[in-house]
Structure 1
Amino acid sequence: MNRILTYLTIWVLGFTNTQAQEVFYQDVIQGGVTGGGFTTCLGSGNGQIEVFIDPGSQIKRAYLFCQRFGYPKPTSIIFNHEILEFNHFNQVTGGFWLPSTGESGVHSIDVTQWVSPSQNIYEVEIPPPNMSDQCLANCVYGAIYLCVIYENNSLPETAVTIMLNNQDMVNNEIYNFTELNPINTAYPVGLSLHTDRLNDTSLNDGSYVYFNSNQLGLIGGADVSNSNWGCGTKGHFYYQNNQFFGLDDDVPNSSMSGSDAIADVSSYLNNNVTSGDLHFVWQSPNTFYNIYIAFFLTYTTPCSSFPTALTVSDTTICEGEPLQLGASGGINYDWLPQTGLSCYDCPNPAFTGDSSMVYTVRIWSTDSCSKVLPVHVKVNPKPKFESIQITPSGCGKSTGSIAAVMDTAQAPYQYTLDNQAPQPDSVFTGLTSGNYVLSVENVHGCTNDTLLTVHEELSVTASFIANPATGSAPLWVQTENTSTNATDYLWEWSGGTTTDEHPGFTLDTAGNYTLTLIAYDGAPHCSDTFSLQVLVYDSLQIRIPNVFTPNQDGRNDFFGITTNVSVSGKVFLFNRWGNPMRELEFTTQPQVFEPLWEGTDATEGVYFYQLELTSDTETHSYSGFVQLVR
C-alpha cells in the first residue's frame, strides 16, 4: 500500500439541481470509456472489477463511485492496493431516501493516479461496516463502481455522460437526460447502469427498465464478478472505435435482463437527439430494496473534442477564505448549483459560500456541444470559541490571565498570543493590562483570531481622618491615614505637599481648606484619591450696639449682637439700679444679627447687660451698658 488517502469527516450536501438526476461528468475524447462494479450486498468482502483499456492509451480521468447507506463512520477500502477513505466530504450528490436504510447519497473519489492503461483487473477489499451511533444494521459504504475515460490518438472520438441519482427510492422513478451532446444513432449508444440490492428471482424485487418508453427488460441478481445473489447488477462495458462492448456477463444488445445491465439504445433515439428518458418500475409493489446509483451513456457524436481546463480543481480552504474558481476552453459557461458563487454564467466565479460544496461547470464549445466537469470545494471550519475567561491584572502588575475554551470536535489546537511561540495550552498567565490578539489553529490548519483586552484592576483605596475638621486659626490638624493596599502617599493642600504617611500641619489663617490624599501601590498611575474639607476661622468676634430705638420704624429697633462664628449664649439684663430685668438663652449664626431685647416694657434710659458666649473652641464673657432712646 503506497499511500493513504484520507479526508476529514464533514457533511456535504452536493449541489442542488432541479432535474431528477445530476450530470456529474460529460466529455468528448479521442479514445474510449470503460466501467465495471463490485459489491458484497452487506458491505464487506473481497472482489474484482473488470474493465478494458485499449493498449497504448493514456488515462484522462477515473472515478470510483460508492453508495452510502444510512450514517456510517468514514470507511477505508482497499482499491488496487491503495487505501481510500469514503466519508462525508466526498459525497457528490444531495441526500436522498431509501426505504431500507433511510438517508443516502452517492460518493466519488478521483482515482486517476491509481489506474494504469496496462491494467484491466482491479482488486477491491471492503472492510466490515464501521457503525456510527445513528446506524441501523446495514449502515455501510458499499456498491463500488469504477469508470475510466482514456485517450488514444489511434481511436476516433467518443462521447460520455455520467449521471448520478438524487431521487428518493419510492418506485416508478423517472430520469430525464438533457443537454447531451448530439447523438449519432448510426452507431451504438451504450447505456450502463450501476444499481444495488435488486433481486428478480426469489424476492421479486427486480426493476423493469424503460428507455424512451421502450421496455429494455427486468434486471436484478448478481454479476459474475460478485456472486452474492441479491446485490444488484452493475453494467460492465467499454466503448471505443464507435463500438459498444460488454464485459463480465453483460451483453451489448438492445435489451437488459437479470444481471445484464447494459443495452444499446440507439434504436430508441432519433438522430442528433440531445435528451432521453430512463424509467424504472419495481417488479413487485412490496419491493423495498431497489437502489439506483449511477447511469453511464457512451456514444458517437458529431461534436469534436475541444480542450478545457479548470484553474482550480478539487481544493480545500478554510471558512472565510476567498477562492477564485475558473474554467477555460469554451464560449459559454453554466455553473451548478447556483448558490455560493459570485456569478453562474461566467468563466471565473468567486466562491463566496461558507460550507463545502460540489459544483459542476458546463463548458459549451458551440450551441449544442458541451463538457461537464466537477469541482469539489471543501470548506474546513474555523476554530469555534465556546467561551473565553479573562482575569484582570492588578494595576502596574503582571497578574492577568486569558483562558480559552474550544469546541472539542476540532481538537487538537495550537494557541498563539501576540505572535509569540504557539503552545498547546489554552491558558496564558502573567499578563499585564492591555490588548492582546489570541490566534487559535485547529486540527484542519484553520485559524481564528480575536482581539482581547485584559483590564487593569485598581486595588488601592485612599481614605483618611482629619482631626479636628474645623476650628479657629491657627489650627493644628492631625491626619490618620486609613488607606488600604497602598505603599506610597502624596498629600496636597494649599500650603504645600508631603509624602508622610500620617502628616500633621498648621493652618494659620481662616478659610475653607481642601486636604487631598493620593495613595498608590508602586506605580503612580495606579492611584486612588480622597479629599476632605477643613474649616478654619478667626477667634470669636462680637459686635454689641450701645444704643437702640424701639420705635418700630424698622431701624435699630432691638438690642442684640452679631458674631463671626456660631455661638450659644445667655444674656442677663439689669436696670440702672442693678435690678435684674430679663434672662435669655440663645444661639447665633455667623454674621447674622441676633435680637435679644425689644425694649417695649422699658422707659428711656441706660441699662446694663452681661453676656456668656460659647463657640466650638472657646468661651467668653462680656458686660456693658446700652441706652434705650424713644
Structure 2
Amino acid sequence: MRNLLVISFLLFVVQLSFAQVIFEQDVVKNGGITGAGFSGGLGYGSGAFDIFIEPGAIVKKAYLFCYRVGYPYENEYVLNNDTIVFDTTNLISSFGHLNEYFEPINLYYCDYTSDLDPGITHYDIELPVKTGDPINWGYCTIYMVVVYESPSLSGALSYEMVFNDQDCYGFEAYSSVQLNKVDYNYPVGFALYTDRYSGSLTDFVYDLTIASNYIGSVGGNDQVNSAYGAAGVKGHFYYQNQTLYGLDDDTPDAFVDSTDGLADISGYIDQVTNSFDFSLRHEDYPNNIHISTGVSLGYFVSYTTTCDTFTVDVPAEYLACKGDSIQLTAAGGSQYEWLPQKDLSCYTCPQPYFSGDTSQVYRVRVWNNDSCSKVLPVSIRVVDKPEPPVVSVSPTRCSDSSGIIEVDVVENTHQYLINNGSAQSSNVFDSLSFGSYLVTTVDTNNCTASTDVFVDQTFPVAAFQATPQEGDVPLDVQFYNQSLYGYDYLWYIDDDTLTTTSPQVTFDEEGTYEVTLITYDQYPQCADTASLYVHAEYPLVVFAPSLHTDRQAPYQIYTTGVDAMTYELYNEIGQLVIYEELTPSTGHTELWQPYELAKGVYFYRIVVTYDQSKEKVFAGKVVRQ
C-alpha cells in the first residue's frame, strides 16, 4: 500500500491528464537546465536564439519541441545548417482551436541529445516558407530544452516539462501541478511556451494567475521574434547553482510582463503539497469562448529540490510491429504509473505489455522510497508488418531431401527464416524433405510475416515410347525415355537387360517382344515400371510377273508366318474369276498360273492373317496378253 501522500499524488495525476501532460520530470545532481525558442508567427521565418550551458558540462537531455497546424506537406527546420525533421509519431498532445484554420494542433518532440554540441549555445533557425498549404497550416515555432550536469555546479536540480492538453479557447485553466520536494530557500522558475499571442493585434494579451495570484500579463513578440507578428511569448532561461537566470528579454523576478514570459513562482506554491494551479485568460474575453485566441503550448518549471537522485532504467523508445504485443520495461523504483491509460496490459506495473495499433508516447512515473519521482517519456512507433511472403516450391524426390523453397524478394526485406530457425540473408532454402514448413521474412524494422508452405514429394513415373512399335524384320526401333523423377533406369526386352538410357534395338526375328522400363530412386518404394509390346514380322510379298513376257512363271506370295489366306481374282468388268482359301506353307505359295487366264485385264485381292488376328491386304492389277 502506498502512503497517503502517494495516494493523493496518484489522484492528482489522473486529474492532471485532463488539462496538461507532464512530459518529463527528473532530478539531476550538480545540474542545470536551459530553454529558449523562436517563432515566425505564421509557420515560417528565420532568426536566432541563445541558450546557456555551463562550460565543460555534459548534456543529459536535449529536446526540440514544435507544433503542427492542420496537415501541411512539409516538415523541416534548419538549425545551425542542420536539417531537422520531426517524427510525427512522437506526438505529445493534440487539441483544438475555435479558429477553423488552426485545426487541429498537434505538439511533437524530437530527442536531440546525441546531436547537440554542449559547446554551442547560439542557434540560427530557419523555418522555410511552405508552398501549397492552406493559410496558417504549417510546422510552427521551435523550442529547445537542454539538461546538463557538471562537477563545477552544486545542488540538486529538479524540473518539469509540462504541455497543454486542452482546447485553446482563451481561458485555459490548469489543475494542480505537484512538484518534487522543493527547497523554498531558492527560486522556482516558471517559463511559458506560447505562440500567436500578439503581433499587431493588441487584444492578444493574456493574464497569468498562479494559485489565484495575478502575476502579470503577457503579449507581444519576444525580442528574438521582433521582426514577425503573432510570434507569441516564450520564456528564455537557465537555472543552475540554485539560481534562476533570464535570457533574451526575460527576467527572473516574480512577475511576467508583456514579452517577459519567465517568473520566479516560489512565493505562490503551496509549501505543504508542493503544488499550484494556474491559468491563462484572455484580457478581452476572460470568461467567454472567442475565436481570437492564441496557442498555449506548455511551460517549464525548474527548482532546487531536497529529493535525492536515483537511477531508473526506462528505454526512451520502442518499435512495435502492428498486431504484435511488446513488453515495456521500467526498473529502479518502488512504484510505477503509465499514462495515458490505453493499450497497456496494466498501468501501475513496471513491465506492461503494449498491444496498440497506433504510435503512442507514454509517460511513466517512477517513485523512489521517499516519494520523490521521475516522469520519463517512452515513444512507441508502430509500423506495418510486411505482406506474407510469396514463395515458389520445388518438390523433393521420395528418396532424399532435395526440396527447394525460394522466397520472392521484396523491398526492405533482409532476413529469412524457416520453422523459426536461425535467420539467413539468402532467400533460398534447399535440401528440404517432404512436409510442412513455416517461412518467415524479416524487414528492416524487424517486423515479421509468415506463410505456411508444403514441400511435396515426387515418386518416379516410368514412361517411354517406341518408334515404330511394329513392322517387318529387320525392324529398327528407337525407344524414347519419357520418365519423370527417376534417378536411374533399367530396360528389359523379354529376359534380356539393356543398360542404355534410351536404347535403339534391331529385331531380326519375327515375334512379339515385351519391352519393360524400370525407373527408380535409391529406395525400393521409389520405383515405377512401364511396359509395351513390339511386333516384328516377316514381310509378305506378292510376286506377280508380267503375263505377256513370262507366261510360265506362276503368281506367288511369300507366306512365312502366315496363319491363313484368301485370294480373289476379278476380270475387268468385276466378275470373280478365282476365289480360294488355304493354309499356306512356309516359304512361297503358288497362287495361279498365267496360262490359266484368258487375255485381258485382271484385278487381285489377297488377304493374309497372322498372329491369329492380324491381317494384311494386297491388291493389284495384271494384264494377260
Output the TM-score relative to the length of structure 1.
0.61
Q: Paired residue for 1:384? A: 387
Q: Paired residue for 1:48? A: 48
1:49 maps to amino acid: F
Task: Give the total of aligned pairs.
Answer: 480
Between the two proteins, what is the percent identity of the paired residues? 33
SS in structure 1 of the partner of residue 114 of structure 2: helix
Call closer, same or farther: CA 1:420–1:528 in 2, change over 3 Å. farther
Call closer, same or farther: CA 1:221–1:404 in 2, change over 3 Å. farther
Contact 1:219 1:261 in 2 (8 A): yes
Which digits, 9 at most, give the CA deviation of each residue in 1:433-469, with x for residues without a partner? 864544334343433232223668999999xxxxxxx
Tell me the distance in 2 between the aligned counterparts of 1:16 and 1:85. 33
SS in structure 2 of the partner of residue 232 of structure 1: coil
Which digits, 9 at most, give the CA deviation of each residue in 1:55-87, with x for residues without a partner? 443322221111122233563423344433212
Contact 1:238 1:244 in 2 (8 A): yes
Which digits, 9 at most, give the CA deviation of each residue in 1:170-215, with x for residues without a partner? 3322222433213344433221111111116426233332222333
Tell me the distance in 2 between the aligned counterparts of 1:164 and 1:65. 10
Q: Paired residue for 2:538? A: none
Q: Paired residue for 1:235? A: 235
Contact 2:521 2:527 in 1 (8 A): no
Q: Paired residue for 1:106? A: 107
Contact 1:163 1:296 in 2 (8 A): yes
Contact 2:19 2:166 in 1 (8 A): yes
* Pair 1:292 & 2:291 matched: no
Call closer, same or farther: CA 1:196–1:526 in 2, change over 3 Å. farther
* Pair 1:204 & 2:177 matched: no
Contact 2:16 2:177 in 1 (8 A): no
Contact 2:415 2:443 in 1 (8 A): no
- In the TM superposition, what are the counterparts of 1:50-449 in structure 2 within 5 Å? 50-73=50-73, 75-89=75-89, 91-98=90-97, 99-129=100-130, 136-152=134-150, 153-199=152-198, 201-202=200-201, 204-227=203-226, 228-282=228-282, 283-284=284-285, 286-288=290-292, 290-301=294-305, 303-310=306-313, 312-316=315-319, 318=321, 320=324, 322-328=326-332, 330-349=333-352, 351=354, 355-385=358-388, 388=390, 411-414=411-414, 416=416, 422=425, 435-449=436-450
> CA offset at residue 167 of structure 1?
1.7
Q: Paired residue for 2:32? A: 32
SS in structure 2 of the partner of residue 280 of structure 1: strand
Tell me the distance in 2 between the aligned counterparts of 1:370 and 1:238. 22
Tell me the distance in 2 between the aligned counterparts of 1:459 and 1:265. 90
> CA offset at residue 164 of structure 1?
1.4
SS in structure 1 of the partner of residue 96 of structure 2: strand
1:304 maps to amino acid: C
Tell me the distance in 2 between the aligned counterparts of 1:181 and 1:87. 30
Moved more, 140-149 or 367-376: 367-376
> CA offset at residue 421 of structure 1?
7.3
C-alpha root-mean-square deviation of aligned residues, in Å?
A: 5.1
Tell me the distance in 2 between the aligned counterparts of 1:519 and 1:203. 102
Moved more, 48-57 or 156-165: 48-57
Contact 1:74 1:87 in 2 (8 A): no
Call closer, same or farther: CA 1:21–1:520 in 2, change over 3 Å. farther
SS in structure 1 of the partner of residue 232 of structure 2: coil
- In the TM superposition, what are the counterparts of 1:452-601 in structure 2 within 5 Å? 452-453=453-454
Contact 1:318 1:382 in 2 (8 A): yes
> CA offset at residue 522 of structure 1?
11
Q: Paired residue for 2:18? A: 19
Call closer, same or farther: CA 1:528–1:211 in 2, change over 3 Å. farther
Call closer, same or farther: CA 1:124–1:327 in 2, change over 3 Å. farther
SS in structure 2 of the partner of residue 100 of structure 1: helix
Output the TM-score relative to the length of structure 2.
0.62
Tell me the distance in 1 between the aligned counterparts of 2:423 and 2:115. 43
1:54 maps to amino acid: E
Contact 1:208 1:280 in 2 (8 A): yes
Which digits, 9 at most, give the CA deviation of each residue in 1:310-369, with x for residues without a partner? 2533344555375451321x3322232344445433444455555533222222234542
Call closer, same or farther: CA 1:522–1:249 in 2, change over 3 Å. same
Call closer, same or farther: CA 1:229–1:306 in 2, change over 3 Å. same
Structure 1, gaps ≥5 residues long? 1-14, 463-484, 489-517, 530-630
Q: Paired residue for 2:579? A: none
Call closer, same or farther: CA 1:177–1:448 in 2, change over 3 Å. same
Structure 2, gaps ≥5 residues long? 1-13, 464-481, 487-516, 530-625
SS in structure 1 of the partner of residue 302 of structure 2: strand
2:141 maps to amino acid: A
